[in-house]
Homo-oligomer: A and B are copies of this chain.
């Protein structure tokens, strides 16, 4: 497996088109389509939020169908828009399906942007001829740009890998937004490949790899109304089957998702540092998750990270109120390999050594609970002035 230059355009069998539809703003790329030359198997992971957008409903209904295209808009989430929002999404996918000469159920949709506003249906339908006309296998980079909201850079990645002596390609795009862990890191991500994989394998592998990549940055249950990750792979009579091929495919997918997850984190709103919270030896997996989540969400921890402050007391405190079993006498807190608090004892640490680590744009906080074998890792970010600025000013 090898990382290659470029994005979606490196994968054979797909074409792309994007345009400035004027959905919410003029002169902004806000509408895009990924179209497969032939029908694809699809797998998807969607928000667990009980309030979810109309396009998520559409995707949930259709994800097991044979898929021809995904249509995506930014600047309007089509969430909290009731039955009219759903009808609009259905009308858009119906019109696209007619123009691609397939059925509506072969089209998926995703949206991101402001909540609670209806899509400008007429304007969007009107743009479809132009959108379809623009389809080209060379337009992959425009998809990464059209799905951006407060993202500062387009995020894409492509890899080559070999299965049964044949070379395949896989590429993906992603948009983040919001802060990385916690709260609503509205995530859209679309992965395409020319490797034929059965629906069952695709579904299983995608869910497994999302868990250790995107779901370790957005944190289960704290997802936005629109979070959507979809993978497309061509339907074939002879899908990749044997263990080593499936393994190569899985590795390529994991590499791709990890790469995009890292890009999402570093492009988080106002993020200047990304810190990995590793919890080990918790009573069990659930407790490890509770602690990692609690520490990664703590505003006091996040502001300390921003301020280069090795304030392990805030870490201990957030671990203590996480709800997990924890005993002060067994607890150890380290920044990278430097222990600050070891089994209940505060250690004298050379601040100069620590400072070198704290000033990095990425490091790990390692929390050993000393009670069992549960472990969990979550990436979090600092809380900066910039974050407040972006989120106080964005929107309505």
Contacts and interface: CB of A to CB of B under 8 A. Distances in A.
A116 B313 contact: yes
- Number of copies of chain A assembled together: 2
Contacts of A114: 313
Interface in A292-313: 297-300, 303-304, 306-307, 309-313
B299 A395 contact: no
Interface residues of A, number: 70
Given A51-B328, A81-B346, A391 B307 contact: yes
Interface in A202-250: 221-225
Contacts of A372: none
A299 B48 contact: no
A309 B391 CA distance: 10
Contacts of A81: 346
B396 A389 contact: no
A14 interface: no
A323 B219 CA distance: 13
Contacts of A323: 221
Interface stretch (A28-36, A88-96, A132-140, A176-184): A176-184
A330 to B, nearest CB: 11
A325 interface: yes
Interface in A63-86: 77, 79-82
Nearest to A310: B396
B395 A389 contact: no
Interface stretch (A17-25, A100-108, A164-172, A380-388): A380-388
A306 B344 CA distance: 39
Contacts of A312: 115-116
A6 interface: no
Given A184-B300, A307-B391, 17 more contacts: A51-B320, A79-B317, A80-B313, A80-B316, A80-B344, A80-B346, A184-B317, A224-B317, A225-B317, A299-B299, A299-B391, A300-B391, A309-B395, A310-B396, A384-B388, A385-B389, A387-B388
26 contacts: A51-B326, A51-B328, A51-B331, A79-B317, A80-B346, A81-B346, A114-B313, A115-B313, A115-B316, A116-B312, A116-B313, A116-B316, A118-B346, A184-B314, A184-B317, A221-B321, A223-B321, A299-B391, A300-B391, A303-B387, A306-B388, A306-B392, A307-B391, A309-B395, A383-B388, A385-B389
Interface of A: 48-52, 77, 79-82, 114-118, 178-179, 182-184, 221-225, 297-300, 303-304, 306-307, 309-314, 316-321, 323-329, 331, 340-341, 344-346, 383-385, 387-389, 391-396
